[in-house]
Amino acid sequence: MSRRTEIEADVFRKLVAHLDNNKEVQNIDLMILANFCRNCLAKWYSASAADLGEDIDYEQAREIIYRMPYAEWKQNYQTEATAEQLAAMQARKSR
């Protein structure tokens, strides 16, 4: 593994840990601000694994990103989207 790959892997681990330490930040907030969320990371993780010949499906990838089963995270940490969040998300999609 190259140093660059090691650095990128470390940055990824720090990003996942940061998201885990900030569970109050909802996926819709991430989508509004940055046009990606935890689920996007899981999709990218699964796709990259497939590109490298590994079989990690979306649900397995979500468990890696969320650090628990998605259903558990959703039950414990996901809140109902507010009218303002939904409007901001719709505005983002309209761009």
Token representation of residue 59 = 């649900």
pTM recorded for the entire structure: 0.92
Read out DSSP for 19-86? HHHTTTS-HHHHHHHHS--HHHHHHHHHHHHHHTT----HHHHHHHHHTS-HHHHHHHH--PPPHHHH
Domains of the chain: 3-93 (1.10.3340.10)
pLDDT value for 57: 98
The one-letter amino acid at 6: E
Minimal CA–CA distance to 12: which of 78, 64, 74, 77? 64
Q: pLDDT-based confidence at 12, cuts 50/70/90? A: very high
Task: Give residue 1's pLDDT band: very low, low, confident or very high (50, 70, 90).
Answer: confident
Residue 8, classed as helix, strand or coil, is helix
Predicted confidence (pLDDT) per residue in 32-64, tens digit? 999 999 999 999 999 999 999 999 999 999 999
What's the pLDDT at 95?
85
